[in-house]
Amino acid sequence: MAQKTIMLVCSAGMSTSLLVTKMQKAAEEQGVDTDIFAVSSSEADTQLENKDVDVLLLGPQVRFMKNDYEKKLAPKGIPIDVINMSDYGMMNGENVLQQALSLINE
């Protein structure tokens, strides 16, 4: 399986960095080749221009941005969703990884 690039966006990029670590660990345990990274909402557009992203996940605190990103990403065919609030709160990297992978494979 080719490497999957998963981008997480939150307001400052800080809270999702712990989630990224947990998602990377889960991916490693499952033998899934991933590039998972978190950015602040202010950096997201630049990252999308400079990097091939397979899926974008929004932190619950920036879910209001979903419609804007759907419009930007639809022409590129990049799926987007909001991270489940309880998975985010519990920092459940395995569940969030599965959410991302299922969006990529739809």
pTM score: 0.94
Query: Which tokens sit at 23?
Result: 């998602």
pLDDT mean over 58-67 = 95
Annotated active-site residue in 6, 8, 9, 10: 10
pLDDT band at 81 (very low <50, low <70, confident <90, very high): very high
Q: What is the mean pLDDT of the chain?
A: 93
Residue 13 has pLDDT above 70, yes or no: no
pLDDT mean over 50-75 = 95
- Give the domains, in start order, of the chain with CATH numbers: 4-104 (3.40.50.2300)
Look up 10 and say whether it is catalytic.
Answer: yes
DSSP β-ladder status, 80-82 and 4-10: unpaired
pLDDT band at 65 (very low <50, low <70, confident <90, very high): very high
Q: Rounded to an integer, what is the distance from CA 25 to the centroid of its chain?
A: 15
* Helices within the chain (DSSP H only): 15-30, 44-50, 66-73, 85-89, 93-104
